[in-house]
Structure 1
Amino acid sequence: MRSVTYSMGVSLDGYIVGPNGDFNWTDPDEEIFRFWIDQIRGVGVHLLGRRLYETMLYWETADQDPTLDESDREWTALWNPLPKVVFSKTLSEVQGNARLASGSLAAEIERLRAEPGEGDIAIGGATLAAEAAEAGLIDEYQVMVHPVLVGGGIPYFPHGGRRVDLELVETRTFGSKVVHLRHRVVRQGGAYPVAGAPLT
């Protein structure tokens, strides 16, 4: 069964965006950008909230820029054809290889898990990930921890949620001292929640 992963850059105090909306401290150097390129190869479909979708729209036309470097072109070649599902109450249409979600997040994930296909189901954006976490739908938390304290903003982890036991499966420290942590959710009996079913 395809795994649901939540992967973002995060400050040491746990935020993906600072209190003023800034996240330039997550800008990757060449080593980290190469890591993200390798990671996206393992994704089969990407679920996005509106804000992240709009941020990533840049890549839809980035390859038209003659000054784009080789790594950016490689990312664009992988990102643009990747199927995407956008969750939004305000958008009426989306661009590229994306579609607006027709059902709830839980229903979309259940349907994607049941379909034939390879690659992870990646979730992008804290609001969408918080909803998935509350429903017990995330299988792996992948954080790129940056050595900075931003003092507030949008947290990577939802506050006030239930306890989730994790197993550390991978770590990597980059030359910039950014640390990647990959944790797998420990499921009792290996069971996945069913859309609409109460959590136990």
Structure 2
Amino acid sequence: MRSVTYSMGVSLDGYIVGPDGTFDWTAPQPDVFRFWLEDIRHVGVHLLGRRLYETMVYWETAEQEDSLSEDEREWAALWKALPKVVFSTTLEAVQGNARLRSGGLKEEIERLRAEPGEGEIAIGGAGLAAEAAEADLIDEYRAMVYPVLVGGGIPFFPRQGRRVDLELVETRSFSSKVVYLRHRVIRQASGRSAGPDVPR
């Protein structure tokens, strides 16, 4: 069955966007960019919310710019070809190899898992990831941790009031002092995440 993965750049104190709405500290250095370039080759479809879509839509036409590096051109080509599902109740249309959905994340993931095909089902954006985590649909959390404390903002990990046990399956350090952490969700025989619910 195809894995559902959630990957984002994150500050050391656990935020993907700071309290001022910026994330300039996640601008990847060349070695980190090359890592993401290899990572996206394993993605079969990307699910994203409106805010991340609006950030990434730049790459739909970026190949027209003369200033792009060779790696950036390769990324642009891979991103443009990648099937995408954008979840939004406010957008009326999306560009490129993408389709628009107003809801039904769980149903979409179940449909994608049932279809023949290869490649991971990648989720981008904290809001969408929180919804997937609430339904216990995320198989791996992948955090590119940056050496900065931003003090607040949008958290990487969903605040779902439920314990989820994880297994560290990969780490990598980069010359820019960034650390990549890949954790797999530990599941019981029932298929649910291990660990009891946290009392509220």
Aligned to 2:61, the other structure's residue is in SS state helix
Runs of 4+ in 1 over 4 A off after TM superposition: none
Partner of 2:62: 62
Distance in 2, Cα, partners of 1:43 & 1:2: 10
Instruction: Specify the SS of the correspondent of 1:35.
Output: helix
Q: Which moved more, 1:119-128 or 1:157-166?
A: 157-166
Say which is worse superposed, 95-104 or 23-32, in terms of deviation: 95-104
Asked whether the 8 Å contact 2:143–2:182 carries over to 1, the reply is yes
**8 Å Cα contact 1:134-1:161 kept in structure 2:** no
Q: Deviations over 1:3-48 (max 9, x none)?
A: 0000000000000000001101000010000000000000000000
Partner of 1:107: 107
1:80, distance to aligned residue in structure 2 (A): 0.3
Q: Which amino acid aligns with 2:149?
A: L
* Count of residues in correspondence between the two structures: 194
Give the structure 2 partner of residue 19 of structure 1: 19
Q: Distance in 2 between matches of 1:192 and 1:162?
A: 12
Question: What displacement does 1:189 show?
Answer: 1.0
Per-residue CA deviations over 1:46-71 (Å, capped at 9, x if unaligned) read 00000000100100110011221111
| Kept in 2: contact 1:101–1:108 (CA 8 A) | no
Partner of residue 53, structure 1? 53
Shift of 1:177: 1.1
Q: Residue 166 of structure 1 corresponds to which residue in structure 2?
A: 166
Cα distance in 2 between the residues matched to 1:33 and 1:66: 19
The DSSP-based 3-state class of the residue aligned with 1:189 is coil
1:160 to 1:111, Cα distance in 2 relative to 1, 3 A: closer
3-state SS in 1 of match to 2:96: coil
In the aligned structure 2, how far is the partner of 1:178 from the partner of 1:15?
15
- Matching residue's letter, 2:87: F
SS of the counterpart of 2:143?
strand
The amino acid that maps onto 2:144 is: M
Q: What is the match of residue 85 of structure 1? A: 85
Alignment match, 1:72: 72
Q: Deviations over 1:91-133 (max 9, x none)?
A: 1111000001265100000000000010000000000000001
Identity %: 75
